[in-house]
Amino acid sequence: MAGRMVVGSAALAGLVRPASAPDPAGGHRVLPVRPELTGLLPSRGLRRGSTIAVGGGQVRSSGTTSLLLALLAEASRTGSWCAVVGMPTFGAGAAAEAGIVLDRLALVPQPGPQWPTVVAALIDGVDVVVTAVPSTVSASVTDRLAARARQRGSVLVPYGRWDGADVTLQVVRGIWQGLGSGRGRLRRREVTVTASGRGAAARPREVKVWLPGDELTRVIPGPVTAARSSTTRLRVVAGRA
């Protein structure tokens, strides 16, 4: 698809901007996300230097890939570069439908054994770096990459289990809509997303959002029951921005 950039490890030096180059997003410390996702993040967006894991231990749970796309869309739309590493089935068509600008999307489907080097190089010059997490990655490697993201001001988004992430987002429930009485198309789903982490994200949060689809949502605070006083509950009503 036009606009998508697929790069190999050898081409990374020409892709990433030098650390001293102007920030394409204007130097903002927090990159924007869609309004319905702001309640999940302590800074109400993607804070530069942070590590935001998506999926946790349940990467294949329904709606997780759609959540990942929704998380990137607004930052991409407003000028940030995004890179996706180690996800050969990542769909450029689905990314475009989610609002990601393909002219500012770099894909490294097969980083091979040089995965840490590839991710580190992208952190040096790309605003948001998404990476599938290898099953054999060591804690020393993940700590080193997270520290590099903090130093360079990139947002690192591991897709999978990542101990020590600032925020971990997981889809825990989902309900599809679109099917009628035995026929129709699955058009969108209401998913429940939880957020947990450390520091400002230590208190668990929970929202319901519509994924996929181009409809935005209005978020209306709902009551917090005594049994779940540690969880922020939000009732989300579909609507147009």
Question: Tokens at residue 102, please?
Answer: 């393909």
d(CA 12, CA 44): 31
pLDDT band at 197 (very low <50, low <70, confident <90, very high): confident
Q: How far is CA 119 from each of CA 8, 128, 234, rounded to the nearest angstrom?
A: 12, 11, 35
Count CB-CB contacts under 10 A for residue 237: 10
Q: Tell me if 143 is assigned to some domain.
A: yes
Q: Which has the higher per-residue pLDDT, 18 or 48?
A: 48
pLDDT band at 16 (very low <50, low <70, confident <90, very high): low
Cis-peptide, bond into residue 212, ω within 30° of zero: yes
Q: Is the domain of 140 the same as that of 184?
A: no
Element of type H or E holding 40: none
pLDDT band at 3 (very low <50, low <70, confident <90, very high): low
**Of the ranges 48-62, 112-126, 163-177, which one carries the lowest mean pLDDT score?**
48-62
When divided into structural domains, the chain yields a total of 2
Q: What's the pLDDT at 14?
A: 52
Q: Is the domain of 179 the same as that of 189?
A: yes
Question: Tokens at residue 165, please?
Answer: 């992430």
Q: In what order do the strands lie in the sheet with 82-85?
A: 5-6, 105-108, 82-85, 128-132, 155-160, 52-55, 167-179, 184-197, 205-211, 232-238, 217-221
The residues with which 211 forms a beta bridge, in sequence order, are 189
**Range of the structural domain that residue 182 is part of:** 169-238
d(CA 219, CA 37): 9
Q: Tell me if 232 is assigned to some domain.
A: yes
Whether residue 120 has pLDDT greater than 50:
yes
Contact present, 82 and 130 (Cβ < 8 Å): yes
Query: What average pLDDT does this structure show over 189-217?
Result: 72
Question: Tokens at residue 221, please?
Answer: 């605070």
Q: Is the domain of 159 the same as that of 177?
A: no
Scored b (16 or more CB within 10 A) or e, 141-157 reads ebeebbebbbebbbbbb
Element of type H or E holding 120: helix 115-123
Q: Structure pTM?
A: 0.75
d(CA 142, CA 133): 9
Q: Is the domain of 40 the same as that of 97?
A: yes
Q: Is the domain of 82 the same as that of 134?
A: yes
Collapsed DSSP state (helix, strand, coil) of residue 192: strand
Q: Tell me if 100 is assigned to some domain.
A: yes
Q: Is the domain of 41 the same as that of 127?
A: yes
Q: Is the domain of 36 the same as that of 78?
A: yes
Whether residue 129 has pLDDT greater than 60:
yes
Backbone angles phi, psi at 199, to 5 degrees: 60, -125
Q: Tell me if 21 is assigned to some domain.
A: no
Q: Is the domain of 200 the same as that of 125?
A: no
What does DSSP assign to residue 139?
H
Q: Is the domain of 151 the same as that of 186?
A: no
User: Which tens digit of pLDDT belongs to each residue from 86-98?
Assistant: 999 998 898 998 9
Q: Is the domain of 107 the same as that of 194?
A: no
Q: Is the domain of 160 the same as that of 202?
A: no
Whether residue 186 has pLDDT greater than 80:
no
pLDDT band at 207 (very low <50, low <70, confident <90, very high): confident
Q: Is the domain of 55 the same as that of 155?
A: yes
Domain stops at, among 106, 139, 168 = 168
Q: Tell me if 22 is assigned to some domain.
A: no
Contact present, 76 and 100 (Cβ < 8 Å): yes
Q: Which has the higher per-residue pLDDT, 138 or 192?
A: 138
